Structure 1
Amino acid sequence: MNKINQEALAVKRAEQVFDRRRRTIGLFGAPILALLVFFTPIDGLTLEAHKLLSIMVLVALWWITEPVPIPVTSLIGPTLAVITSVVPVSMAFAAFANPMIFLFMGGFILAKAMMTHGIDKRFAYWLLSRSWVGSNPRRIFLATGLAAALCSGWVSNTATAAMMFPICLGLLASIKEMFAVNGRQIDLHDYKYATGLMLMTAYACSIGGVLTPIGTPPNLIMLGFLDQMTDIQVSFFEWMTWGLIAMVAYFVIAYVVLVRMFPADVEKIDGAETFIQNKLKELGSWTRAQKNTVFCFAVAVVLWILPGILSIVYGSGTPILKMYNRLFPEAAAAMIGALLLFLLPVDFKKREFTLSWKDAKDGIEWGTLILFGGGLAMGGMMYKTGLSKWVGDAIIAMMGGSPSPIAMVAIFSVMALLLSELTSHTAATNMIGPLAITAAVSAGISPIPVSVAIALSASLGFMLPVSTPPNAIVYASGYIPITKMIRTGVYIDVIGIACVTIPLCIYFVSWVTG
């Protein structure tokens, strides 16, 4: 067993020990701490808000320590709120029918159809087969990252990483064969370019998620909180204008850092073009199911971005735009595209349609939807009971009474990043989101920059294998020493936070003056 494998095994054992202790401490410690909070007198809180605070302590600590599955914890919070008479049952569980849930569900179904029929692989191989890529290792590095980033804007980052992983392994096998032909034997576990290519794949999958609201859960969670707590609606098109800028900035940072830290020692990878071309040929010609899937996906995307185009052409207050938003809200647009998959036939005589329910239900991340609904439920109850205002005022007081927009954005961005490195970025966003929004409102600051900053920062989980599923997938290859992942992750995280904070503070200044 080589040194890399021994290191990976040692890290895995340490993670298992840490996880066991963390879950045990959380299982018993969180309820005890929640009871202490409940029985401690706190001025300025109503009885309902005080009870909800103790429930939030339990839920937040269980989200972090995970003694039970995170989606289960998301159901425990609203259930306890009903049992303890914090809110009636209709209010506690209303968030699980929030339109954002159905926007995400439609996105999951469309993504599953794309994976089932190989649209994602076809796009990835198409991009890698472009003439500008060729056999140049740097361009292959760039094209691999672009394929992962652009796919994960619409498909789960985990699924994208799983799809790109074997492609990268094939490219690295071509490198090894090329060296063998030239009389040089290499161990890919010790080859810098192999480490860089794997890291680029994982990081690009997380980076691409910021492109669209459905790209990663933190995006929709913060949009849901903005809508629910401040009645601010951010359109799909508007998010994409921010997400595209963030994605490009993150991607450039990751590419530059990784190319410098893990350069290729050859000018050409013989066999890479042949490998890609053969894989593309194996996919064959376009099938009816693939064409139907692309059509359904295009319908959803057009319906999502059309309000932004109408707003630019006719103005934000035009009756046409208002009517369109009433008839085709984003959740309905997602469901239209998804439902068409069950109606467009592949073989009508056999009654075979583009997507079966069996495939669709396996593609819907039910745990994510429950976690999303639970987070919205807890945030809504905090707002209704006045707990969020109390917490927001307390945060503002701790920050000196009148914090600057830069401080607000920077502090909550760092909090989101640190929590996302250690636990689910969805759970981290659920915990920080309501606090940040209420703190911003209490300080008289627009909650939009803070909310966007949290969503974007939660996607910067690059330091550890446990930070995101893509990190874990590529780490399992054995080509990435843990020290290399931590080091590169720190660089990208720090630069990424700066790229989040500065533009959003500029946006705040323009919001105040305009």
Structure 2
Amino acid sequence: MSKDEDFQDMLDNLDIVVESMEDGHTVITPRVHHENRGKTLLELQKELLDPDARQHALYRLYINPTFRKLVAGFVIVSIIHTLLFFFATTLSTPGRNVFSLFLLIIYLWVSETFPLPVTALMAGVALVLLGEDRDLAFASYAADSVFMILGSLIIAQGITKSGAENLIIRRLLGPFTGSNYALILGIIVICSFMAAIIPDHSVAAIMLPLVLTVADKTDIKEKNNEMIALVLAVAFSCSIAGLATPSGGARNVIAMGFLEEIYDIRISYVQWVILAAPITIALIPAVFLTLVIVNKVSYRRIDYIQETGKSIDDRQILALSILVLTFGLFLTSGFNGLTLGTCAMIGGIMMHATGVLEWEDSRQRLRWGVMFIYGAALTMGKAMVNHGAADWLAGGLYQMADYGSEFGGDLSIILIIIVVTVLLTNVMSDGAAAAILVPITLAVGAAADFNLAFIAIITAISTAFAFMTSFGTPPNLIVQASGIPTSNDFLRNGVPLVIIAILFLVLAQTYYWEMASDVAGI
């Protein structure tokens, strides 16, 4: 092959355009091609000067963005692991290993180095490699809460497939379809009301397809910023409503259980609502304003034509009946002996048994990876507890709170508890965060002579502020499964909302709870 032919072959491999200009100059321009995306000019120039470099396996690996993210993560975690060896002397070797793995998994999730479900499966495998019993390492992937998410998603799919979502939309969302602002606010209000009674992730699983149906029938689907605001409205409103009542989320029941078991203090359903519900009400406009401002949503009218004149068919009646039955099982789960996961799976099975859904519908359209992500969050939380890493973190929290009380008084202790809880709940499931922190925060509260009922509720409410990551709560996972919001979208919208939520919680505890506690008898 001649030198000119070799040069042309190299240009073809580089996928660049060579143009001869009228003045005799030659302009070389790289095409926008999947192999060249993300490459710097220096990298392209290096390939141009050294065509053999492109064929070199190590060089191809070096320019791979996934490889770079992975190396960066290992370097960061290795440095932290080394520091733990010297400074975390009270933490056992298995504890340090699990904590380092925990940080690595969080990094891989946030950076999206691999698809989120792949990283989720890596967590269980890595725990086995670290010496964890294989049954224990993977047990949480089949936890009751995982099956609750699965069953809820199947039920939501049945509602959508049958067309019953149009009936619900006409009744609930219909009055809010005049403008994009009204639609966003309507979603927040409706989800907040429903999720205060029904577990938040069940509401998210039902409402998401309804919202997407409305968007699909308007030009909202063509505006990415409005689509992001709509789906995040579902996730965030379910989270803020889930804190309003004990039945809104497992974290609330966990906090109440620890308070009763350890300190023999009981909080009734009504007492919880009196203290927590006003925070949900205050956060409704905060969520709306945050989504509108951060996503730069400008007010405009939308044209949504509701379907009228269609009578309800047998499949829709079946789908809605199964939905109502499942909700009834949720509400009576404390009396019927069934777990929430069992209730959800009963509904999911009935969707198939009655013919509302075919198996191919679920096999092809259901985002199965969501269950792996939540299972990984649970298994990492359990491993942190079993190997002392959670106690080590909690001990640091206690020292911080004790140190802060010398300077900022009681308020500093409350702030430290809230901030640490918020940070933890954004990197693991809210239920796992509550299970880890509630016993420790209650110990901190007892040492500081606080009202322990307040501390339990503060901790549980703080675990609901998992707005910054897609895997912090089941509603976030369900919304992320739609493929619309990215991890960066959760971060952009979640950070300001977390700050506002913390402020509201501190104000409520400082000024409202002392007065309301007399009325509630806490």
Cα distance, 1:302 vs. partner?
Answer: 0.9
Question: Alignment partner of 2:352: what SS?
Answer: coil
Cα distance in 2 between the residues matched to 1:364 and 1:405 = 48
The one-character-per-residue Cα deviations of 1:23-76 (angstroms, maximum 9, x if unpaired) are 255444245336525754742233332332333333333333332333333333
In the TM superposition, what whole-angstrom CA distance separates every residue of 1:160-185 from its partner, at most 9, and x where no partner exists?
5533433452799xxxxxxxxxxxxx
| Alignment pair present for 1:107 and 2:107 | no
Q: Is 1:88 matched up with 2:88?
A: no
Q: Matched residue of 1:280: which SS?
A: coil
The match for 2:212 among 162, 172, 187 is 162
- 2:502 aligns to what? 497
Q: Which amino acid aligns with 1:496?
A: A
Q: CA shift at 1:443, angstroms?
A: 1.6
- Closer, same or farther: CA 96–226 of 1 in aligned 2, 3 Å: farther
Q: What is aligned with 2:312?
A: 286
The question of whether the paired residues in 1 share the 8 Å contact of 2:292 and 2:298 is answered with yes
Compared with structure 1, are the counterparts of its residues 167 and 148 closer, same or farther at alpha carbon in structure 2 (3 Å cutoff)? farther
Alpha-carbon distance, 1:295 to partner: 0.7
The CA deviation at 1:418 is 7.3
User: TM-score, with normalisation over the residues of structure 2?
Assistant: 0.62
Give the alignment partner of residue 333 of structure 1, picking from 335, 343, 346.
343
Secondary structure in 1 aligned to 2:239? coil
Q: Which has the higher contact order (CA 8 A, sep 6+)?
A: 1
Q: Quote the Cα distance in structure 1 between the aligned partners of 2:292 and 2:458.
A: 32
Where 2:99 maps in the other structure, the secondary structure is helix
Query: How far off its partner does 1:202 sit?
Result: 4.4
- Specify every segment of 5 or more residues in structure 1 that has no aligned partner in the other structure, as ranges: 1-12, 173-188, 308-320, 345-352, 476-481
Q: After superposition, where does 1:47-126 map in structure 2 within 5 Å?
A: 47-85=93-131, 87-126=132-171
Identity, in percent, stands at: 15
SS at match of 1:355: coil
Which secondary structure state, in structure 2, belongs to the residue aligned with residue 456 of structure 1? coil
Tell whether the 8 Å contact from 1:168 to 1:198 is kept in structure 2 after alignment.
no
Are 2:146 and 2:374, in contact at CA under 8 Å, matched by a contact in 1? yes
Deviation at 1:408, TM superposition (A): 5.7
Letter in 2 for 1:206: A
> 2:229, 2:291 within 8 Å by CA — same for their partners in 1?
yes
Q: Any residues of structure 2 matched to 1:417-456 within 5 Å, and which? A: 427=428, 436-437=437-438, 439-444=440-445, 448-456=456-464
Q: Please say which of residues 425-434 and 284-293 is displaced more in the overlay.
A: 425-434
CA-CA distance at 1:255 after TM superposition: 4.4
Instruction: Provide, for residues 454-497 of structure 1, a one-character-per-residue CA deviation record: whole Å limited to 9, x for no partner.
Output: 432113779xxx9985999489xxxxxx99x96x8776554333
Q: 1:334 corresponds to which letter in structure 2?
A: A
Cα deviation, residue 262, structure 1: 7.4
Unaligned stretches of 5+ in structure 2? 1-36, 41-62, 196-200, 447-451, 471-475
State the AA in 1 paired with 2:465.
Answer: S
| Residue pair 1:416, 1:429 contacting (<8 A) in 2 also | no
The residue type paired with residue 356 of structure 1 is: E
Distance 1:128 1:305, change over 3 A: closer
SS across alignment from 2:357: coil
Matched AA of 2:149? F
- Cα distance in structure 1, aligned partners of 2:104 and 2:253: 23
Aligned to 2:13: none
Q: Is the 8 A contact 2:421 2:433 kept in 1?
A: yes
Question: Out of 277, 280, 284, which is 1:251 matched to?
Answer: 284
After superposition, the Cα gap between the structure-2 partners of 1:230 and 1:375, relative to the gap in structure 1 and judged at 3 Å, is farther
Question: Is the alpha carbon distance of 1:135 and 1:213 closer, same or farther for their aligned partners in structure 2, counting shifts above 3 Å?
Answer: closer
8 A contact 1:157–1:206 mirrored in 2: no
Of 28-37 and 48-57, deviating more is: 28-37
What residue in structure 2 maps to residue 385 of structure 1?
387
Q: 1:251 to 1:340 in 2, by over 3 A?
A: same
- 2: CA distance, partners of 1:123 / 1:71: 32
Residues in 2 aligned to 1:469 and 1:90: alpha-carbon distance in whole angstroms: 29
**In 1, Cα distance between equivalents of 2:410 and 2:361:** 46
The residue that corresponds to 1:183 in the other structure is none
Distance of 1:28 and 1:474 partners within structure 2: 27
* Kept after mapping to 1: 8 A contact 2:259/2:456: no
Decide whether aligned partners of structure 1 residues 458 and 98 sit closer, same or farther in structure 2, where only a CA change above 3 A counts: same
Cα distance per residue 1:408-444 (max 9 Å; x no partner) = 6644655676799xxxx56585996666446414424
In 2, distance between residues paired with 1:229 and 1:89?
29
CA deviation map 1:316-353 (0-9, x unaligned): xxxxx6xx35x322222212222211222xxxxxxxx1
Conserved in 2, the CA contact under 8 Å of 1:148 and 1:208?
yes
User: Residues 459, 160 of structure 1: CA spacing in aligned structure 2 closer, same or farther, 3 A cutoff?
Assistant: farther
Select between 243-252 and 109-118 the one with higher mean Cα deviation: 243-252
* 1:303 to 2:304 alignment: no
Cα deviation code 1:126-174 (max 9, x no counterpart): 44544xx6968875664465467669834277645533433452799xx
What SS is found at the alignment partner of 2:501? helix
Match of 1:459 among 467, 487, 491: 467
Counterpart contact for 2:139–2:379, Cα < 8 Å? yes
Q: Contact 1:30 / 1:62 at 8 angstroms: preserved in 2? A: no
Q: Which residue identity lines up with residue 391 of structure 2 in the other structure? A: K
The answer (yes or no) to whether the contact 1:210–1:243 under 8 Å persists in 2 is: no
Q: How many residues align?
A: 424
CA contact (8 A) 2:218 2:304 kept: no
2:463 partner SS:
helix
Distance 1:34 1:139, change over 3 A: closer
Q: Distance in 1 between matches of 2:399 and 2:278?
A: 33
Per the alignment, residue 342 of structure 1 pairs with 352
Contact 2:98-2:384 within 8 A present in 1 as well: yes
Q: In the TM superposition, what is the alpha-carbon distance from 1:299 to its structure 2 partner?
A: 0.7
Instruction: Give the SS at the match of 2:332.
Output: helix
Give secondary structure in 2 for the equivalent of 1:328: coil
Paired residue for 1:45?
91
Report how far residue 294 of structure 1 moved: 0.8
Q: Which of the numbers 206, 210, 217 marks the counterpart of 2:239? A: 210
Q: Secondary structure at the match of 2:464?
A: helix
